[in-house]
Chain A
Amino acid sequence: MRKHLLEVADLDRADATLVLDTTAQIEQALAGREVKKLPTLRGRTVVNLFFEDSTRTRISFELAAKRLSADVINFSAKGSSVSKGESLKDTALTLEAMGADGIVVRHSASGAPHRLAQWVQGSVVNAGDGTHEHPTQALLDAYTIRQRLGRLDGVRVAVVGDVLHSRVARSNVGLLTTLGAEVTLVAPPTLLPVGVETWPVTVSYDLDAVLPKADVVMMLRVQAERMNASFFPSAREYSRRYGLDGRRMAVLPDDAIVMHPGPMNRGMEIAAEVADSPRSTIVAQVGNGVSVRMAVLYLLLGGAPE
Chain B
Amino acid sequence: MTMSSELPAPPVPPLLSAEDVARVVDRVAHQLIEKAASHLADLVLVGIPTRGAPLARRLAARIEAFSGTPVDVGTVDITLYRDDLRLRGVRALEDTRLPDSGIDGRLVVLVDDVLFSGRSVRAALDALRDLGRPRAVQLAVLVDRGHRELPIRADYVGKNVPTSRTQKVEVHLAEIDGLDEVLLTGGEA
Contact = CB atoms under 8 A, between A and B. Distances in A.
B85 A29 contact: no
Contacts, number: 50
Contacts of B96: 25, 28-29
B86 A21 contact: no
B90 interface: yes
Interface stretch (A35-43, A72-80, A195-203): A35-43
Given A21-B92, A25-B94, A303 B80 contact: no
Contacts of B126: 39
Nearest to A302: B90
B95 interface: yes
Given A33-B130, A33-B131, A39-B80, A26 B93 contact: yes
Interface string B54-83: 000000000000000000000001001100
Interface residues of A, number: 21
A2 B86 CA distance: 16
A218 to B, nearest CB: 28
A298 B130 contact: no
A210 B95 CA distance: 39
A181 interface: no
A278 interface: no
Contact of A40 (B80, B89, B94, B97): B80
A298 B80 contact: yes
A305 interface: yes
A25 B93 contact: yes
Contacts of A304: 86-89
Nearest to A301: B90
25 contacts: A18-B92, A22-B92, A25-B93, A25-B95, A25-B96, A28-B97, A29-B93, A29-B96, A33-B131, A33-B132, A38-B80, A38-B81, A38-B130, A39-B81, A39-B126, A40-B81, A40-B85, A298-B90, A302-B85, A303-B85, A303-B88, A303-B89, A304-B86, A304-B88, A305-B86
Interface of B: 77, 80-81, 85-90, 92-97, 126, 130-132
Interface of A: 1, 18, 21-22, 25-26, 28-29, 33, 35, 37-40, 68, 298-299, 302-305
Given A39-B126, A40-B85, 12 more contacts: A21-B93, A22-B93, A25-B93, A28-B96, A29-B77, A29-B80, A33-B132, A35-B130, A302-B90, A303-B88, A303-B90, A304-B86
